[in-house]
Amino acid sequence: MKYGLFTRATFFGVAALLAGSVSELRAEDTSALIAQGKYVAEASDCSACHTVRGRGEFAGGMEFKLPIGSIYSSNITPDPTHGIGAYSEAEFSRAVREGVRRDGASLYPAMPFPSYARMSDGDIHALYVYFMKGVQPVAQAAPPNGIPWPLSIRLPMTIWRAVFSPSVVAAQKDVNRSLPDDGIGRGAYLVEGPGHCGACHSPRGMALQEKALSNSSGSLFLSGGAAIDGFVPTSLRQDQRTGLAGWSEDDIVQFLATGRNRRGEAFGGMTDAIFHGTQHLTDADLHAMARYLLSLQPHQPTLSAWHYDPSAATALQAGDASAQGAKVYVDHCEACHRSDGRGYAPAFPPLAGNPVLMSDDPASLVHVVQSGAVLPGMTKAPSAFAMPAYSGILSSQQIADVVTFIRKAWGNNAAPVTAATVEELRKSAPEPTIQKGIIPLN
Amino acid sequence: MCAKKVDAIVIGAGWAGSILAKELTEAGLSVVMLERGDERATAVEGDYPSSIDELRGAIRHRLFQNLSQSTVTIRNTLDQEALPYRRLAAFLPGEGVGGAGLHWSGVHFRVAPDDLALRTNVVARYGKNFIPEGMNLQDYGVTYEELEPFFDKAEKVFGTSGEPYTIKGKIAGNGNRFAPDRSDVFPLPAMGEVYSASLFRSAAANVGYHPYALPAANASAQYTNPYGVQMGPCNFCGYCSGYDCYMYSKASPNVNILPALRQDPKFTLITKAHVLKVNLDADKKKATGVSYLDLRTKKQVELDADLVIISAFQFHNVHLMLLSGIGQPYDPQQNTGTVGRNFVYQTITTSRAWLSPKQYTNLFVGAGGAGVAIDDFNSMNFDHGPLGFVGGSPVWVNQAGVKPIAAATGGPGGKAPTWGEGYKEAMVDTYRHSLTIDAHGSNMAYRDVYLDLDPTYSNAYGQPLLRMTFNWKDNDIRMNQYVVGKIEPIIKAMGATKYSLGMLKDGEVFDTRRYQTTHLGGGAIMGTDPKTSCVNRYLQSWDVSNVFVIGASAFPQGMGYNPTGMVAALAYWAAYHIRTTYLKNPGPMVQA
């Protein structure tokens, strides 16, 4: 997966935890710790960036294309030369929570250490034991970063880190702030800490720092982020229309466990976050995360609630496809998403009331139409589903028409999209998943 | 080179293979499934709209067997030289993951219980002399009651849509009153009825027959099966037979079993692996594994296993047994030997009725498994005594979606002009305002209809081709003619403006150039006597006890129903007994 998190950045890169000498673990019963550490790694979504198909688990090598050159995720297996086998626990902790490499250089904040700073000492310990004893060493170097000097100098990272990343002490203090009940506290820990949901779902500032790293910093936290690989992360707060207002606790749990529910389906980077991460979490933890998310007050409290409007469906069902884009919709979308826009969730997601397509920025919707989307099979929901890519079939005008129809129909009432916008978005359209060689085999 | 060893090898990635592989991995075995074709993914070649390309699909045979590598030879009678089947037409075996289970239509029947013991029932009702000379009429050796749990399981896996008649002895719906009792409802309600099917329903009822909704493995609603896999609902696009379903609504091994199976680390699927033979030990009592050709490297690979499941398409199963030397090849002169014996097919003929210009049947609409049928003339549901033939046919309107090329090349039918404006008008009239009714009937087994190795032709790998000796016989022709005669009053009751009845002619010879059905059967049949059957009632080879042969190859007769439901039930039945009996004490489960 390529989060492409910093596509506008000129100087950010990915974590490169380089190697040194071999350290020793205390003698202890490690099997339980390894299991706990594996779980923490899943909750932290480590493999989403550090495991690339064909290179070995956690062997790194995921490419992040930046305007200044490509950088690659690092090998975090316990190989002493190419991985992190030489790290002491203190060094490991400093890298994960503070973004400082063993040699003292700063990591590029594609590594979400500002969130990981919140991780408990116990989880860090378990994570360390897991990476040292539960992961197979891979003696293969991640590709060298391709950023030319002087842009490759990491000094600005050190400054960035000092300004924008919290100290572990401060982060832990915020973790331990008063929350309504234990369940929400655990949920807050997972979402704000290892889960690093805000890395995508929170807005970023001028220096691409997250404007809020936890809910205690205000309602900007998880209020929706900038486009990643062409897809716009939605608000995870209780915002009407564009957030999770209307989602139940079970909806959120099902989504995080399987990538699909009656409200919608994951696409883009979220499929990786679920595939590598949240699907492996316990029901109790998923419920805690859901309860926490449900407790987040809306960032835009003045937005009115979405209400279903049957008029578009009534017209289509009467054979009236005269509305702008309606005919394209009937020919290309209706089989799965239905004339009433309700889809056949969880197989085919509803378009009516779907928060992804009611935002001011139509990029997600346009890009899904242009490039398609694939929901991979998950352990608890083995079926993969693919939405075809239409950029080779539909003109920009046709896509503008159908997207306008979808955004207007069924009470969605979002603004129209012009052909010029679609044409512009064509440039940033993600590569269709199928063409990336990731083929869901059903 | 030292061969790799696994617990079980499953040959063929269709329905039977996928079911066995799923069951055996559930039992804890390491399983390698070998498939000679390609991987198949709905998201790639089954995606909308590229999958619904008739030229690439049904016309150019995207999902079917590549006959340039291996095919069969066919002849009608023993005194002829068989010639290779070089162009797909009469029957369409699949290739690639999912096999024919990916490109099938989706009609998902159980079995008529009388068909399972057809010889016993015919003899009991009409006497031994009722069986025509040269007909190898046999029983399966298994009862409906024994198979019922496995029919039920298969329907739940397939997400089958249908309407029951009785459940646990109580009337539970308006389904087929000739259907056997069920333990549970269909997992999904019956598919909706297109106009032609509802016309047939009312007309058939008016004539006094008993119409019912065809049981369809086309999902009438979205569905999650016991393996946790999901199906979308069918939208009647008509691209079922010959296609992979872009709506994920037609059951296939790919959609309904493999997503779960692929998650099991004990399961390995190897594609482009053409199995050459099952390897046997010196005294041919045990299989040691298989030899297959890796079609990518062109190298032969040996793979060892404790258990070998032969679960390819019907005639590939027989071919593999003959090539491997499992069991005694059938000899039509002496009527001895078992491998290749009782090769059977189905009779199918199509009648057409034209309605008024105000009645739109819109033949492009449809679903492969949906429709309305009657069973009044199937199996032993009617008195054969005065008729003097064995067998029968369900009759149905199964509007499966006629695609444009098929409609054009099929022409308008009837007495329409064969070119010019009149032709075009008639074709449009046929496409919009006509409907078809099939008699989809049984085909009995005969002493001189069988499978063996061809003495002349070989495949791309130097192995002799399988030879089919097949012809229509008077018993089945008369059965077809009788049942088609019963269609006429239904057509009249519909108020058709004109009609044509399709039926086998007296003395008609099997013609490989016209599509009929892919429902081939027999050749490695199940039974209770090792002298007349290849496999026992658990589909275990009588001769090599760690080989099981699963598929329609086990059918002693061609039944009136579509075979997939029976194949799936037999697969679950065999798997259950392998799991509960064989694995605890490997060896023959029935003493010969």
pLDDT tens readout for residues A306-324: 999 999 999 999 999 999 9
The pTM assigned to this predicted structure is 0.93
Domain shared by A281 and A178, yes or no: yes
Task: Say yes or no: A143 contacts chain B, CB-CB below 8 A.
Answer: no
The reply to whether A383 falls in a domain is: yes
Write the Ramachandran bin of A410: left for phi over 0, alpha for psi from -120 to 50, otherwise beta.
left
**Cβ atoms < 10 Å from Cβ of A132:** 24
- 3-class secondary-structure state, position B578: helix
Q: How many Cβ atoms from other residues are within 10 Å of residue A427's Cβ?
A: 7
Looking at the fold, whether A100 and A112 belong to one and the same domain comes out as yes
Kindly state the tokens that stand for A141.
Answer: 């170097």
Task: Look at chain A and report how many structural domains it folds into.
Answer: 3
Out of A336, A377, A439, the one facing B259 most closely (by C-beta) is A377
| pLDDT of the residue at B287 | 98
**pLDDT value at position B218?**
98
Amino acid sitting at position A307:
H
Answer whether B43 sits within 8 Å of A434, measured CB to CB: yes
Question: How many beta-carbon contacts under 8 Å exist across A and B?
Answer: 84
A157 and A34, same structural domain?
yes
Nearest to B486 by CA among B378, B380, B398: B378
Please say whether the beta carbons of A384 and B229 come within 8 A: no
Asked if B247 reaches chain A (Cβ–Cβ under 8 Å), the answer is: yes
Mutate to test the interface with B, among A261, A338, A340, A344 (most CBs of B within 10 A): A344
Q: Does A167 touch chain B (CB under 8 A)?
A: no
pLDDT of residue A155: 82
Three-state secondary structure call for residue A204: strand
Domain boundary among A139, A166, A193: A166
Determine the topology of domain B4-582 in CATH. FAD/NAD(P)-binding domain (3.50.50)
CB B589 within 8 A of CB B580: no
**Res A438: pLDDT:** 62
pLDDT band (50, 70, 90) for residue A19 = very low
Cα–Cα distances in angstroms (integers) from residue B453 to residues B291, B329, B457, B467, in the given order: 19, 9, 9, 5
Q: What pLDDT score was predicted for residue A5?
A: 36
Domain membership flag for residue A305: no
- B418 burial (CB, 10 Å; 0-12 / 13-18 / 19+) is exposed
CB contact, 8 Å: B259 with chain A?
yes
Domain ranges of chain B: 4-582
Phi-psi domain of A218 (left: phi exceeds 0; alpha: psi -120 through 50; beta: other): left
In the predicted model, what is the mean pLDDT of chain A?
Answer: 89
User: pLDDT (tens digit, 9 = 90+) per residue, A232-253?
Assistant: 999 999 999 999 999 999 999 9
Peptide bond before A382: cis, by omega within 30 degrees of 0? no
**Chain B contact set for A442 (CB, 8 A):** 41-43, 229, 248, 254-255, 258-259
Residue type, B85: Y
Query: Degrees (nearest 5) of the Cα angle A73, A78, A79?
Result: 85
pLDDT of residue B48: 86
The beta strand positions in B402-478, using DSSP E, are 434-441, 450-458, 464-469
C-beta atoms of B230 and A383 within 8 A:
yes
Contact A386 B47 (CB under 8 A): yes
B579: left (phi over 0), alpha (psi -120 to 50) or beta: alpha
Q: Which amino acid is at A319?
A: G
Give me the domain span that covers residue A281.
Answer: 169-294
Helix, strand or coil, per DSSP, at residue A160: helix
Dihedral of CA atoms B583, B588, B590, B592 in degrees, nearest 10, equals 180
Residue B98: its chain A contacts at CB < 8 A?
none
Q: Coil, strand, or helix at residue B500?
A: strand
Reported as a single tens digit per residue, the pLDDT across B219-260 is: 999 999 999 999 999 999 999 999 999 999 999 999 999 999
**Which 3 state secondary structure label does DSSP give B538?**
coil
B519 labelled catalytic: yes
DSSP string, B190-228: PPPPPHHHHHHHHHHHHHT---EEPPBSB-SS-EE-TTS
Residue A280 has pLDDT above 60, yes or no: yes
Same domain? A144 vs A127 = yes
Is pLDDT at A4 greater than 90 in this prediction? no
Q: Residue A40 falls within a domain, yes or no?
A: yes
Supply A351's token pair: 């378009």
The phi-psi region of residue B114 (left if phi > 0; otherwise alpha if psi is between -120 and 50; otherwise beta) is alpha
Residues A206, A159 share a domain: no
Q: Does residue A394 contact residue A332 with C-beta atoms inside 8 Å?
A: yes
- Whether A44 maps to a domain, the answer reads yes
pLDDT over 50 (residue A18): no
pLDDT of amino acid B441: 97
B229:A442 CB<8 A: yes
A384 token code pair: 């993969």
Q: Residue A330 domain-assigned?
A: yes
In a domain, A393, yes or no: yes
Q: Which of B6, B76, B56 is nearest to B448 (CA)?
A: B76
Contacts of A157 (CB under 8 A, 6+ apart): A11, A12, A99, A105, A106, A107, A108, A109
B465 to chain A, minimum CA–CA distance in Å? 32
- Sequence-ordered strand ranges (E) for B311-354: 347-354
Cα dist from B138 to B105, B112, B354, B519, B541, whole Å: 28, 15, 41, 19, 18
Residue B494 near residue B69, CB atoms below 8 Å: no
Do you find a cis peptide bond into A355, omega within 30 degrees of 0? no
pLDDT at residue B580 above 50? yes
Cis-peptide into A346, omega within 30 deg: yes
Distances (CA, A) of A299 to A69, A235, B319, B388: 36, 8, 69, 82
Q: Do B42 and A377 make contact, defined as CB atoms within 8 angstroms?
A: no
pLDDT given for residue A436 in this prediction? 64
Is B124 an 8 Å CB contact of chain A? no
Q: In this structure, what DSSP letter does residue A274 have?
A: I
Domain stop point among A261, A294, A327:
A294
The pLDDT score that the predictor gives to residue B417 is 87
Sign of torsion over alpha carbons B371, B376, B381, B385: negative
Lowest mean pLDDT among A402-416, B38-52, B234-248, B303-317: B38-52
A206-220, A426-440, B367-381, range with the lowest pLDDT: A426-440
Instruction: With beta carbons under 8 A apart, name residues in chain A contacting B250.
Output: none
Q: Does A348 touch chain B (CB under 8 A)?
A: yes
- Decide if B231 touches A, using CB distance below 8 A: yes
Residue pair A268/A430 in contact (Cβ under 8 Å)? The answer is yes
Alpha carbon distance A74, A110 (integer Å): 11
Q: Model confidence at A13, in pLDDT bands (50, 70, 90)? A: very low
At residue B409 the predicted structure's pLDDT band, cuts being 50, 70 and 90, is: confident
A301 pLDDT higher than 50:
yes
Q: H-helix or E-strand containing A69? A: strand A69-72
- The pLDDT of residue B2 is 57
Q: Are A209 and A166 in contact (CB under 8 A)?
A: no
Last residue of a domain, one of A131, A166, A201: A166
- Segment B156-185 mean pLDDT: 98
Contact A441 B232 (CB under 8 A): no
Do A263 and A324 share a domain, yes or no? no
Chain A partners of B259 at a C-beta cutoff of 8 Å?
377, 382-384, 441-442
Let me know whether A139 and A152 are in one domain.
Answer: yes
Is A335's Cβ below 8 Å from some Cβ in B? yes
A433: confidence class by pLDDT, cuts 50, 70, 90:
confident
A326 secondary structure, DSSP code: H
- A106-110, B105-109, B175-179, B322-326: least confidently modelled range: A106-110
In a domain, A442, yes or no: no
Indicate if A177 and A138 belong to the same structural domain.
no
State the greatest distance between any 2 C-alpha atoms of chain B, in Å, as a whole number: 72
**Which of B247, B258, B259 is nearest residue A336 as measured by Cβ atoms?**
B247
CATH of the domain at A361: 1.10.760.10
Does A300 map to a domain?
no
CA distance to A326, A344, A366, A416, B231, per residue, from A404 (Å): 9, 21, 10, 5, 29
What percentage of chain A reaches a pLDDT higher than 90?
76
